[in-house]
Every structure is written in C-alpha cells, then in structure tokens.
Amino acid sequence: MKQKNIHNQHNAELSTDEIPPLVDISAETHRHVTIAPGTEEVYQGHPTTLLMPDGKTMFAVWCLNHGGFAGPMARSNDGGLNWIRLDDQLPVGFTQHKNCPSIYRMLNPDGKELLWVYSAQPQMPRILSRDSGETWQELEPLGFPCVMTFSSVARLKSKLHGRYIGLYHQRDGDSLQVMQTQTMDGGMTWSAPHIVADVEVNCLANYMCFA
C-alpha cells in the first residue's frame, strides 16, 4: 500500500537529554585529509568508505561530478591518514559504471571474504575482489533498474555465512521506492527485489539500515 505521508512520532520539540551530541570538526583543518581535491571543472562526489577488520586498512570509492561516472578508488593502510590511488588497477569497464559507487565487505557461505563495489547504472553494475582489494574483476550487472545502488547492506542474524539484505531505491513516476533484495551467497546472486517503502511526498533517497 502506498503511503501518502510519514509522520514523525516525535514532532514535539526534543528535550536536551534526547538531542544526540554533535561533533563539528569542520574548522579543525589539521584533522582533515584530502584524498582527491576538486577543481573548477571536476567535482569529486559521493564517496563511500570501507574499514577492514584490521582497523587500519580502508578503501574509498566515489564518482566524478554529481551522479557521474565511477573510476576512482583509493586505499589507506593507516586508518585514513595517507591514501594510495588504485584507479589503474581496476577493470577498464568500471569507468563506465555510473552514479554513487558503494563498497561493501561480505563473507560467502564458506566464510571467505568478498569485497564488492556496486554502482547504479547501467542496471546496477559491480566489481569484485577476492583477495582483500589486491585485484578486481568486473562481473555481470545485477539487472536492477535504480536511481542509486545499495545505500545499505546488512548481514542477517544467522549462524550461516553469506546472508545479507540490500536496500536501494528506484523511481516510479513521482515516487522514490525503497527496494529490498537478499543474497544467500555473499553477494554473488540476489533475490527478486520487492518494495518496502513507497512515499510520494518524501524523498527516500538517503537512508541507512543497521544490523
């Protein structure tokens, strides 16, 4: 059923105790690290990051210009202080993937690590690393029409490895529909997506799911 509106149960003004703390480091430039400076012509946009289990190794992927082509990737070995660009180590086809690439770490049913980068167009394309980001290969797209790729991938509560849900959104007229799909093999294959939210008057483009 399509919802016409979403009402916040906490419309009343929040008390001081209910307001989450805000940490603003925008003026603390000594704490900032620039991975890819923009120019007058190029906007480096929509980055997502992945912190590996060692607590030090990080990956970042992003696209060029607003919702533009993918291609850039960087790795840090020291928790984000220094970065190495990996663009020339990626599949050539990755530069034709478009809009907000997102990177995730999953385990397959045997408990082996898979690193995935999903993008939005065309039809949710993807690249995969089986060796902790040393090498990457392009696989066939998932075939899911979308505005943006997975905004969230969450592991399901299970004793078995490989089980995750993915959430992304697609457009249907004036609506942005949040879609859900499930993988049982660590991201290799995904179930037929179904709608979990469809709201005409609210933008459901940026949401997160935590497990």
64-73 pLDDT per residue, tens: 998 899 999 9
Nearest to 170 by CA among 192, 210, 197: 197
Predicted local distance difference test score (pLDDT) of residue 14: 61
Residue located via tokens 């394309």: 125
153-207 pLDDT per residue, tens: 999 999 999 999 999 999 888 788 899 999 999 999 999 999 998 877 666 666 6
Q: Is 181:163 a contact under the CB 8 Å cutoff?
A: no
Predicted local distance difference test score (pLDDT) of residue 13: 64
Predicted local distance difference test score (pLDDT) of residue 202: 62
Q: Does residue 145 carry a pLDDT above 50? A: yes
Predicted local distance difference test score (pLDDT) of residue 176: 85
Q: Does residue 2 carry a pLDDT above 60? A: no
Residue 127's contacts (CB-CB under 8 Å, 6 or more residues apart) are: 90, 91, 94, 97, 116, 117, 136, 137, 138, 139
Instruction: Kindly report the pTM of this predicted structure.
Output: 0.86
Predicted local distance difference test score (pLDDT) of residue 17: 74
Q: Is 135:90 a contact under the CB 8 Å cutoff?
A: no
Predicted local distance difference test score (pLDDT) of residue 172: 84
100-130 pLDDT per residue, tens: 999 999 999 999 999 999 999 999 999 999 9
Mean pLDDT of the chain: 89
Predicted local distance difference test score (pLDDT) of residue 6: 40
What the block records as the tokens of 90 is 């990626």
Q: Is 142:123 a contact under the CB 8 Å cutoff?
A: yes
24-60 pLDDT per residue, tens: 999 999 999 999 998 999 999 899 999 999 999 999 9
